[in-house]
Structure 1
Amino acid sequence: MLELKGDERLDYLLAERLRIIQSPSVFSFSLDAVLLSKFVRVPIQKGHLIDLCAGNGVIPLLLSTRTKGKITGVEIQERLFDMAQRSVEFNGLSEQINMVHGDIKDLPNKIGFRNFDVVTCNPPYFSTPSDEEINQNEHYAIARHEILCTLEDVVRVSSKLLRQGGKAAFVHRPGRLMDILSLMREYRLEPKRLQFVYPKEGKEANAILVEGIKDGSPDLKILPPLVVYNDKHEYNQEIRRILYGEE
């Protein structure tokens, strides 16, 4: 029987027949994570996938509906790792998803180099601010700010984990676009697909989705924009399809 701790709740995972443990005081997944899980191209029948900075396991859970491959999720915060582990067990996915509690910077030495076909990451978006500016909730501060890992850490480790020809996919903020593209090239992850996400028509983009190939040839494709809300502040058709499976 599933044990919920503190203010945890068991939510439906959107369009999928899955449930996920969430907590308003610890962690709840964002739309960015869902978009990344749908954006990345994955092998259907087999392969090895890994999600870095996995939080409560939302991306590994969603990826399990798109591939029969083995999935690893890595999370440094013990409380979030525990939530993810219990969600995986509750959904009967322990044979497919393996959650790892640890620091991504140590991963290649612990689990090996060039062993994965796909790496995904929804990393901390913001550089570490002063103590006065940072979120006083430790869980949210670590998830949002580059306290325990930087963007360069994420890209460097992703490259080390990927086999040649493997794919790395990230979601980030548009203001870090040049950082992420230059780091990907520096660490041999050639950017191949880029999509901008907009909150509404006429607004500035507030997220980017980018996928690269380890040692790929230069050929970046800009995908059609993804607009989240219409003028009535309702989800657009494509977002409804992604979130709820609606056509």
Structure 2
Amino acid sequence: MNLQDDERLDYLLAEDLRIIQSPSVFSFSLDAVLLSRFASVPINRGKIVDLCTGNGAIPLFLSARTKSRIIGIELQERLADMATRSVVHNELDEQIMIIQDNVIGIAKKIGFEAYDTVTCNPPYFPAIDASTKNKSEHYTIARHEVELTLDQAVRSASELLKQGGKAAFVHRPGRLMDILTSMRQNRLEPKRIRFVFPKEGKEANTLLIEAIKDGKPDLKILPPLYVYTQDGEYTEEVRHLLYGDE
């Protein structure tokens, strides 16, 4: 394993895998863990696409849950390279393929209506003035809608999915109405929502949502997920997601 610059090799403890991370380029967050466990995936012989794959965290997490083929799409060459090296290091290159390309219009290249599940951890923040963006260009593109808007991500997910296929997104609660509107405009019917709270008594700061392509209206609000106890420790559920059975 040849690490570059300030890259490091971190453990994904629950999955017994390793991943290349860089504090100046990209490191995955808890959101990726939550989405990879929330999404419904086919166990065998399915086809999955992860949009905005970053350094490949979500495909790696998903590989512990399914034997299906997984494609990760990442615009940034440096991040796609990190993801590819992590996949090879974990000997998962027969299951996971990383493609360095634009999420917009990706179905034209890898196939329309051909996939069972699409996951996406898109940029959360609108593209506004440069003073509010991250100093790192890599983080700016990953976190701000400078190269990809929410609506474009939802449209690409719909184009990729088979009828009855499922799209799972993680986002911020403040964008809920935008997400619901965009999903319905793109043939994705929201079916499950789960709000994530830092701890009891605090406002939700993360939203998990799954939709079915051409599904019938029947939205379920799942029980809340709390990240920390009142003592500042991870809750039992989050500890299990991060560390597995200890």
**TM-score between the two structures when normalised by the length of structure 1:** 0.98
Distance 1:131 1:244 in 2: 37
- Mean CA deviation greater in 173-182 or 126-135: 126-135
- In the alignment, residue 119 of structure 2 is paired with which amino acid? T
Aligned to 2:118: 119
| Cross-structure match for 1:57 | 56
1:153 maps onto 2:152 in alignment? yes
1:134 matched residue in structure 2: 133
Cα distance in structure 1, aligned partners of 2:201 and 2:169? 24
Q: 2:219 is matched with which residue?
A: 220
Moved over 6 A (4+): none
Give CA-to-partner distance per residue, 1:38-66, whole Å, 9 cap, x none: 00011111200000000000000010010
- Map of 2:229 onto structure 1: 230
Q: Could you tell me how far 1:109 is from its partner in structure 2?
A: 1.1
1:85 and 2:84 equivalent?
yes
Task: Give deviations 1:123-180, integer Å, cap 9, x for gaps.
Answer: 0000011022211210110010001000000000000000000000000000000000
User: Partner of 1:59: helix, strand, or coil?
Assistant: helix
Report what 1:43 is aligned to.
42
2:105 counterpart SS class: helix
Aligned to 1:70: 69
Aligned to 2:3: 4
What are the within-5 Å matches in structure 2 for residues 12-23 of structure 1? 12-23=11-22
* In structure 1, distance between residues paired with 2:235 and 2:110: 41
- Residue 165 of structure 1 pairs with residue 164 of structure 2: yes
User: 1:5-34 deviations in whole A, cap 9, x for unaligned?
Assistant: 000000001311100000000000000010
Summarize deviations over 1:77-131 as a string: whole Å, max 9, x none. 0000000000000000000000000001130111110010000000000001102
Q: Specify the alignment match of 1:188 in structure 2.
A: 187
Q: 1 CA distance for matches of 2:83 and 2:130?
A: 29
The secondary structure found in structure 2 opposite 1:105 is coil
Equivalence for 1:102? 101
Q: Secondary structure of the equivalent of 2:37?
A: helix
Distance 1:233 1:227 in 2: 11
The answer on 1:175 being equivalent to 2:174 is yes
Count of residues in correspondence between the two structures: 246
SS at match of 1:7: coil
Residue type of the alignment partner of 1:71: I
Matched, 1:30 2:29: yes
RMSD value, Cα:
0.8
Letter of the 1:240 counterpart: R
Q: What is residue 244 of structure 2 aligned with on the other side? A: 245
State the SS of the aligned residue for 2:130.
coil
What SS class does the counterpart of residue 109 from structure 1 fall into? helix
Aligned partners of 2:115, 2:31: CA distance in 1, in Å? 23
